[in-house]
């Protein structure tokens, strides 16, 4: 059996998915987290799986999320649908439920957050709701793992015995009733031919859904007859077709809630959220509050917890490296192999791996902000200023994801309704500093700006955002004329973050970082070691300045001379950073032949403090890694456009870095 998990955004859908499957799928409180459908095997049920579809409010094909969900249900034909709704906001959630019932597929309704309903004095008559909707209804609390077994039993029952919804007609009389029935009868044969419900086909025709109308292959005569019925409905109801259908559905929802729901009082969570929002979304305090919160996060990460743990891990790696080097020397192994293991693997991969605690600590704090509902507020707050530069608040959601990794950030632009917004956002995402650059920042700030590490880190992130804003203004006036699409977003109540969700994200990021360290970065490190160890005739060099790598670096280095770091080792590290940004650190470690604990001191022989600032600015802004570039090419659908983006990134990075270095020189830094 394969079940589809369908629901509105922020209704606890992905939390339920985690409970059903034990999956590492992360829980987020803003749209754009779940871009594609995710699948996982149900725990304890071999062969049975559930597909987590994007959060939507309607089956109409306006957004990519709606297209993905509808395409899966109609084309893949799951054996059953688990429709999860937020029981604290049931009226709005049931609108999607009615559309699912029209599709004539076995459905179970999961009333989530029932614990909050009860705690605030409300109740729902499950039996009455089952009677009125004609489907099984189960009370659950996904966050507390309550009612999950009952839900699985119900979906198995309806799926195995093919128990379809008993109610699909949501109005007993009136103009809308007559119109839908007339169109249903006319389209019945066509609907059965393509395997969809006549009722669903009829409502889609009334709504003017071009995809469904084209797939039905209706004749001109049939379309004229149906249009006549629709026009008659509009005249009799005194509403346009879409408003008439929406009115019909909400009338039915009002009837269901009136008989089965005792509304709770204003929830404690909502009262608390309103009070907090009076500060955090205040017109004047919102952005300063955001900057202060992020500064606190960076201080805790780079000034207290993360750096302390990273230093401990570095000492452990250095100790293991020393023991291994002594063991290889005692064994009398070939010096080249010894160099490969110590200078290549331990110095390269080890230098990157030592930053694992910083990555984990940073995402611990970011996960708390996300799961609490604060990140959704930031998208809301940023909508107005972003509109002035040609983007919407939903674009900021993709940019927020970019703080983690540019690859999912670029992929999340699929949720943007406008191609203009999508392409413009993709071009700006690389300016957002991803987590892969954190080892570079941590290394240089610790080496040159020990007393002001958190402040410098904050400055880099702000500089990336400001550069992106300036580029957005330029793009708006040149390549992307027009206005952004409207942005509609539901702000969830502030909630205590789920411990499970936070731990899953930390584990996911740690695993991803380690995998990269022992795959892409490992290979890049070996290539750098090979190029540094041998000359053009493949002889082992005693001075790395005579190596193949030095030849490449010295050829490129003059380009960076005006930026203050013309040393070939600095240029070479930037080139290797194209494979993965963490490789910049490992390459510097290999080229200088120093361990992680002493690499910071060695950098003083390559960079001045001002050159270090210039280098940090360049690494902040230049082209993202090869994985991100490949994702951009796939989403843009053009190699040429991708090449333009990469060149633009490098050009902007060079210009801003040059300005930073020259300004510092004029000020006598």
**Which of 21-25, 111-115, 126-130, 575-579 shows the lowest per-residue confidence on average (mean pLDDT)?**
21-25
Residue 31, pLDDT > 60, answer: no
Query: Would the pTM of this model clear 0.75, i.e. be above it?
Result: no
Higher pLDDT, 342 or 155: 155
Q: CA–CA distance from 79 to each of 55, 200, 249, 267 (Å)? A: 20, 18, 25, 36
In the DSSP assignment, the letter for residue 351 is H
Sign for the CA dihedral angle at 639, 642, 648, 650 comes to: negative
Which of 519, 464, 412 is CA-nearest to residue 656?
A: 464
- Please, are residues 305 and 356 in contact by the beta-carbon 8 Å criterion? no
Confidence of residue 427 (pLDDT cuts 50, 70, 90): confident
Which of 345, 292, 580 is CA-nearest to residue 454?
A: 292
What pLDDT, on the 0 to 100 scale, is given for residue 201?
92
Distance CA(643)–CA(283), nearest Å, equals 40
What pLDDT, on the 0 to 100 scale, is given for residue 482?
65
- Please, are residues 57 and 8 in contact by the beta-carbon 8 Å criterion? yes
Distance CA(350)–CA(360), nearest Å, equals 17
pLDDT (mean) for 605-611 = 87
Higher pLDDT, 589 or 177: 177
In the DSSP assignment, the letter for residue 373 is T
pLDDT (mean) for 21-38 = 54
Q: Which CATH superfamily is domain 2-160 in?
A: P-loop containing nucleotide triphosphate hydrolases (3.40.50.300)
Q: Where in the chain is the domain with CATH 1.10.287.1770?
A: 175-262
Confidence of residue 178 (pLDDT cuts 50, 70, 90): very high
Residue 597, pLDDT > 70, answer: no
- Angle in degrees, CA 18, 19, 24, rounded to 5: 25
Q: Where in the chain is the domain with CATH 3.40.50.300?
A: 2-160
How confident is the model over 506-563, as pLDDT tens digits? 777 777 777 766 776 677 778 878 887 888 888 888 776 778 878 888 888 899 889 9
What pLDDT, on the 0 to 100 scale, is given for residue 529?
80
**Which of 313-317, 324-328, 615-619 shows the lowest per-residue confidence on average (mean pLDDT)?**
313-317
What pLDDT, on the 0 to 100 scale, is given for residue 421?
79
Confidence of residue 23 (pLDDT cuts 50, 70, 90): low
Residue 470, pLDDT > 80, answer: yes
Distance CA(409)–CA(33), nearest Å, equals 9
Higher pLDDT, 38 or 140: 140
What pLDDT, on the 0 to 100 scale, is given for residue 205?
92
Tokens 């793009």 correspond to what residue? 475
Confidence of residue 601 (pLDDT cuts 50, 70, 90): confident
For residue 486, the number of C-alpha atoms closer than 13 Å in the C-beta half-sphere is 2
DSSP H or E run through 328? helix 305-331
Residue 388, pLDDT > 60, answer: yes
Residue 24, pLDDT > 60, answer: no
Q: Which residues contact 10 (CB under 8 A, 6 or more apart)?
A: 29, 30, 55, 86, 376, 490, 492
Average pLDDT value over all residues in the chain: 83
How confident is the model over 231-277, as pLDDT tens digits? 999 999 889 988 999 999 999 999 999 999 987 777 777 888 889 99
In CATH, what is the architecture of 175-262? Orthogonal Bundle (1.10)
């Amino acid at each position: 059996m394969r079940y589809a998990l369908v629901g509105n955004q922020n209704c606890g859908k992905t939390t339920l998915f985690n409970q059903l499957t034990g999956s590492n799928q992360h829980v987020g409180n803003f749209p754009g987290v779940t871009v594609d459908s995710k699948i996982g095997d149900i725990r304890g049920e071999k062969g049975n799986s559930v597909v987590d579809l994007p959060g939507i409010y309607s089956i109409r094909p306006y957004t990519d999320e709606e297209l993905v969900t509808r395409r899966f249900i109609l084309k893949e034909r799951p054996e059953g649908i688990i429709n999860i709704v937020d029981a604290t906001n049931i009226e709005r959630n049931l609108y999607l439920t009615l559309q699912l019932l029209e599709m004539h597929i076995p459905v179970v309704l999961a009333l989530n957050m029932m614990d909050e309903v009860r705690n605030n004095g409300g109740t729902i008559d499950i039996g009455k709701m089952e009677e009125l909707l004609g489907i099984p209804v189960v009370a659950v609390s996904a966050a507390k793992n309550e009612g999950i077994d009952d839900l699985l039993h119900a979906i198995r029952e309806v799926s195995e015995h093919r128990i379809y919804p008993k109610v699909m007609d949501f109005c007993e009389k009136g103009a809308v009733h007559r119109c839908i029935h007339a169109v249903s009868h006319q389209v019945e044969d066509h609907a059965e031919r393509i395997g969809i419900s006549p009722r669903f086909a009829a409502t889609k025709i009334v709504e003017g859904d071009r995809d469904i109308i084209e797939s039905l292959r209706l004749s001109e005569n049939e379309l004229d007859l149906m249009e006549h019925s629709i026009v008659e409905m509009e005249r009799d109801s005194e509403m346009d077709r879409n408003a008439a259908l929406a009115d019909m559905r909400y009338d039915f929802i009002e009837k269901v809630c009136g008989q089965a729901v005792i509304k709770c009082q204003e929830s404690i969570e909502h009262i608390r959220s309103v009070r907090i929002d009076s500060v955090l979304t205040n017109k004047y305090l919102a952005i300063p509050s955001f900057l202060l919160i992020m500064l606190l996060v960076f201080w805790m990460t780079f000034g207290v917890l993360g750096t302390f743990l990273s230093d401990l891990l570095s000492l452990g790696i250095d100790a293991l490296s020393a023991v291994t080097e002594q063991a290889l020397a005692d064994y009398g192994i070939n010096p080249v192999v010894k160099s490969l293991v110590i200078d290549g693997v331990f110095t390269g991969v080890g230098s990157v791996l030592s930053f694992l605690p910083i990555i984990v600590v940073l995402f611990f704090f970011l996960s708390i902000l996300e799961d609490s509902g604060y990140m959704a507020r930031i998208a809301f707050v940023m909508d107005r200023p972003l509109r002035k530069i040609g983007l919407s608040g939903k674009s900021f959601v993709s940019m927020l994801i970019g703080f983690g990794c540019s690859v999912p950030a670029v992929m999340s632009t699929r949720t943007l309704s406008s191609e203009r917004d999508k392409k413009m956002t993709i071009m700006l995402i690389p300016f957002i500093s991803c987590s892969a650059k954190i080892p570079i920042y941590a290394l240089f700030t610790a080496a040159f700006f020990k007393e002001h590490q958190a402040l410098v880190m904050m400055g880099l992130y702000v500089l990336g955002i400001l550069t992106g804003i300036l580029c957005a203004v330029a793009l708006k006036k040149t390549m992307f004329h027009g206005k952004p699409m409207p942005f509609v977003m539901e702000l969830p109540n502030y909630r205590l973050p789920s411990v499970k969700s936070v731990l899953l994200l930390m584990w996911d990021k740690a695993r991803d970082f380690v995998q990269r360290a022992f795959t892409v970065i490992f290979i890049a490190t070996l290539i750098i070691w090979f190029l540094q160890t041998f000359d053009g005739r493949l002889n082992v060099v005693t001075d790395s300045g005579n190596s193949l790598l030095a030849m490449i670096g010295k050829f490129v280095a003059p380009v960076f001379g005006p930026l203050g770091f013309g040393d070939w080792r600095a240029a070479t590290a930037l080139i290797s950073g194209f494979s993965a940004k963490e490789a910049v650190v490992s390459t510097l470690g290999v080229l200088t032949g120093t361990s992680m604990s002493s690499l910071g001191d060695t950098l003083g022989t390559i960079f001045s403090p001002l050159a270090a600032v210039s280098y940090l600015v360049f690494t902040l802004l230049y082209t993202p890694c090869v994985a991100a570039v490949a994702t951009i090419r796939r989403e843009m659908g053009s190699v040429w456009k991708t090449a333009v983006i990469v060149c633009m990134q490098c050009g902007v990075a060079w210009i801003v870095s040059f300005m930073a270095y020259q300004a510092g020189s004029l000020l006598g830094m």
